[in-house]
Amino acid sequence: MHFRRFACLLLGAWMTGSLFMMWVATQNLETVDRVIHDAKGRAAEQIQEIGREPARLFLRHLAAEQNRLYFQSWEQVQLIFGVLLLLILFFGTDARPPVLLGVLLMTIVVALMHWLMTPEIIKLGRAIEFVPDAKDSVARSRFWGFHTAYATIDVIKTVMAALIAIRLMLRRRRRDSDEDLDAVDDADHTRVDR
């Protein structure tokens, strides 16, 4: 079985999922403003009846709750990816210690994000959801500090996954070319020039 290829596939899925989640999170919140701005028919009447700002705050709350669910679920999937990758690389390949250490580090980072950062971001996010943007608050500053740290760590983790995948692919190519050279040294010496 091609464990190295499967490991690269998992790393690719991990990177793609992370990039997709970054995109989804921003789109969910931007959709709220598009819905409020471009509402037609009955939706426009409902927004007018409720008021634009209360409707916006409620829809942002809905989008934020969706993002929270998506990120918590994605973090759980990443933990599974990390454990699977470690098992595949350790038992199924001859991966070098830096590769194993990189995957272990990525998995630990996801675990810390899942159990330490995400609960704090959720708590702070819920605390500031219905506070108007114009009003400054300590909770809002802390939320954006955690949010920025989370996003930065996620980008670094995704770059690490790309570097590990490149390393695995290059290692495989190098081994393939080494096997071609070793084929010359067959036991019957028929392919050796004397």
Question: pLDDT tens digits, residue range 67-101?
Answer: 999 999 999 999 999 999 999 999 998 889 999 99
The residue written with tokens 């990039």 in the block is: 19
Rounded Cα–Cα distance for residues 132 and 60 (Å): 12
Per-residue pLDDT of the chain (194 residues; tens, 9 = 90+): 589 999 999 999 999 999 999 999 999 999 999 999 999 999 999 999 999 999 999 999 999 999 999 999 999 999 999 999 999 999 998 889 999 999 999 999 999 999 999 999 999 999 999 887 778 889 999 999 999 999 999 999 999 999 999 999 886 555 555 555 545 555 565 555 55
Angle at Cα 57 formed by Cα 35 and Cα 136, nearest 5°? 130
pTM as predicted: 0.84
Where do the H-state alpha helices sit in 39-114? Answer: 41-50, 52-92, 97-112
pLDDT at 186: 53
The 10 Å Cβ neighbour count of residue 75 is: 17
DSSP designation for 133: T
CA-nearest of 135, 140, 128, 121 to 68 is 121
